[in-house]
Amino acid sequence: MSRAIRILGLDPGLRRTGWGVIAVEGTRLTHVAHGVVAPPDSLPLAQRLLHLLEGVAEIIALHAPHEAAIEEIFVTANGASTLKLGHARAAAMLAPAQAGVPVAEYAARYVKKAIVGAGGADKAQIAFMVARLLPTAGGPTADAADALAVALTHAHARTSPAVSQGRGAQALRVGA
């Protein structure tokens, strides 16, 4: 029997970064844990980013994932918000990189299509499908459900020919 691979999914945000860990053994997917890293809003930006980095690092130390996957940012009309989200995403990506865990990136539309079947799915639809696919996860918050969706997407995409030929998740991106 093969050894299970643990995948950490991340849904980055400056206020709440959702995370979820699943185990993959063959075609079997199992929920391991999920939650949210939420730095206090009262902290300066640099301290909030440090909180995110350290929080994700603790999750990695606790759950020892073999691979990580993160949702790409989408550009909004508010450039300052997009930039702050990019900072949060960078902080979340640094923790697995420091631990030597490879990080795949997926466009939000690709994750939604992979989990729900429609690239324009809303958070409630994502949460519903995550609960169906991982019944032992209970009712995760929207941020944790999104992170579990990213992990599930990576679990399926990692065995595709594009990923196995070394092109990584970028070859699988669907435009935002």
Residues taking part in catalysis: 11, 71, 143
CA distance 60 to 116: 27
* Alpha-carbon distance values, 106 to 14, 50, 174 (Å): 19, 24, 8
- Paired residues of 6 in beta bridges: 23
φ, ψ dihedrals at 29, nearest 5°: -115, 130
Local structure of 25: helix, strand or coil: strand
